[in-house]
Amino acid sequence: MTDPVSSIRNLGPAFEAACDRAGIRSAQELRALGPDAAYARLIEAGTRPHFIGYYVLVMGLQGRPWNDCKGKEKQALRARFDAIKAAATPKPVSKLVAELDALGVRVGTGDLEPT
């Protein structure tokens, strides 16, 4: 039996949907990948990189509250996030999606969401 991604502390339905788009289908698979590889896959699948989303994932995989990251630990996570972001190759988007993005409208899972 596999547990849903949203069974991990701090991770809700929106994060679970992003994982699904990246081919990460269970909490077990997410744990096996680890936060860095999983976040790279999210970026490559089209998730817009955001530091808070990354450290929420790290804290959740450690079973800690999302806002438990502070000081030097947070600085070290920022350096890891920056490296992941620089190395990940986002999937190409269509011209329409790029233009909507430039206007501040983000195409989500069927709904248009303000950014």
Exposure on the CB side of residue 59, measured as CA atoms within 13 A: 18
Question: Across all residues in the chain, what is the average pLDDT?
Answer: 88
Beta partners for 106? Answer: 113
pLDDT category, 93, cuts 50, 70, 90? low
- Indicate the DSSP class of residue 5: G
Proportion of the chain above pLDDT 90, given as a percent: 73
pTM equals 0.77
Q: What residue numbers bound the domain in which 77 lies?
A: 5-114
Residue 114 structure tokens: 């303000």
Check: CB of residue 41 under 8 Å from CB of residue 22: yes
From the list 57, 69, 55, 51, the residue with the least C-alpha distance to 16 is 57
pLDDT (0 to 100) of residue 77: 97
pLDDT category, 114, cuts 50, 70, 90? very low
Q: What is the CATH number of the domain that holds 45?
A: 1.10.150.20
**Terminal-to-terminal C-alpha distance of the chain:** 36
Q: Report, as an integer, the average pLDDT of 58-77.
A: 95
H-run or E-run covering 113: strand 112-114
Considering its fold, how many domains does the chain have in total? 1
